[in-house]
Amino acid sequence: MPCLAPTPSGKYKGGCIIAGLSIHAMNDTAPHYRRDLRARPAVRALVASQIREVANAGMGDPDILPFWFGEPDEVTPAYIRAAAVASLDAGETFYSPNFGIPELRDGIAGYVSRLHRPVAPGNIAVTASGMSALMLTVEALVGHGDRVVCVTPLWPNLTEIPKILGAEVVRQPLTFGSGGWTLDVEQLIAVLTPGTRAVMINSPNNPTGWTLDAASQRIILEHCRMHGIWIVADDVYERLCYTVDRCAPSFLDIAGPDDRVVSTNSFSKSWLMTGWRLGWIVAPPALMPDLGKLIEYNTSCSPVFVQRAGVVAIDDGEPTIAHTLQRYRRARSFLVEALGALPGVQAALPAGAMYVFFHIAGVGDSLAFCKQLVREARLGLAPGSAFGPEGDGFVRWCFAASERRLADGVGRLQSFLRR
């Protein structure tokens, strides 16, 4: 097959001949042969994070009070950090099993069994973050054209993951009233039609703090059993619940080992480990072999030194969770009361999580409002529109901070609203 031929001057002329058509001719006459350097359409259609968009306008500026991310203002406790350092000092810098080191899988299984129903280590998959746990789960269950229902407003990562895989996402909104955010369970059941592949429920919920009660969970589980619908439960905030003693109600309390229920979780929130990127999945036995393949083809494994920190967090971390819950409970009450005293602001006590999702009269474009807050008030909050159209007019404030910082932030918001 003739290709570019050198001329006496040393230059090349002509072009490769492919099926009787030169490259030059293809470039000239067939636009579909030209290079398209963009991502595929499903990825291009994803909505970029508006939380990041606001944060990027002010990250690193010491004059800004940041409450935009779901992150505490306390560092990971020393005993957890020490476990990672000891692992590194011991030279544990090699690959680990796809599903995680046995010590961590055993520890997570015991932890979940204490909170909910008995779970075997073989049904635990350690993941490189709670975000990875969600992605892997949806990759295992959802394909192109599938129908996925999400209870919203919702952390945008959850609603966008199915779209990456070509699925259709149907939003079922919560309702905001004087008592906070509520779910009409009958409406959700009506949306969970036969042929729906999965429903994604984050409870306690980011951003609203709404928490699904046990009675509603039973209704949803029975309906999904009847129609073969998977329940993907994002349980990352289950220990940050202010209406019960130990943890929020979970589908793991009532689902059997072979139910179509997958629980995803993370070390980030309960143990103050946001930057460590460590999570887990509890899944039915039949799903585990395929989850192992997906872990291999996504991250292969989680770092051993991070997993060693996770073992210590699971084994010795209950005092940390108790301290965090007590601190957040005070901060929650303080912030809701302070916001409620501002004219035009509606704020309700969240049942769980670490956010107040409040309404400000007259705010239509919450993204523009939050960007203006960063510029003019030096205050970083998350726009409600980041969590879907249900959130416009609302703003999310992460209260995982000291009362002094929260009071400073409320003062800045008050001054801004007066102007």
Divide the 419 residues of the chain into consecutive groups of 10 and give the mean pLDDT of each group: 49 48 50 76 91 90 94 96 98 98 98 97 98 98 98 96 97 93 97 98 98 97 98 98 92 96 97 97 98 98 98 98 96 97 96 97 94 96 96 96 97 95
Q: Which domains does the chain have, with CATH numbers?
A: 1-37 (no CATH), 50-75+319-418 (3.90.1150.10), 90-317 (3.40.640.10)
Q: Pairing relation of β-strands 12-13 and 168-173?
A: unpaired
| Residue 144: Cβ within 10 Å count | 9
Which of 329, 367, 142 minimizes the C-alpha distance to 232?
Answer: 142
Question: Alpha-carbon torsion 176, 182, 186, 191, what sign?
Answer: positive
What is the pLDDT at residue 237? Answer: 98
What is the pLDDT at residue 60? Answer: 83
What is the pLDDT at residue 367? Answer: 96
Gyration radius of the chain's alpha carbons: 25
Cα atoms in the 13 Å half-sphere on the side-chain side of 353: 27
The encoded tokens of residue 284 equal: 């039915």
Q: Let me know: does 38 contact 44? Beta carbons within 8 Å.
A: yes
What is the pLDDT at residue 254? Answer: 97
On whether the pTM is more than 0.75, the answer is yes
CA distance 381 to 54: 8
CA distance 146 to 115: 33
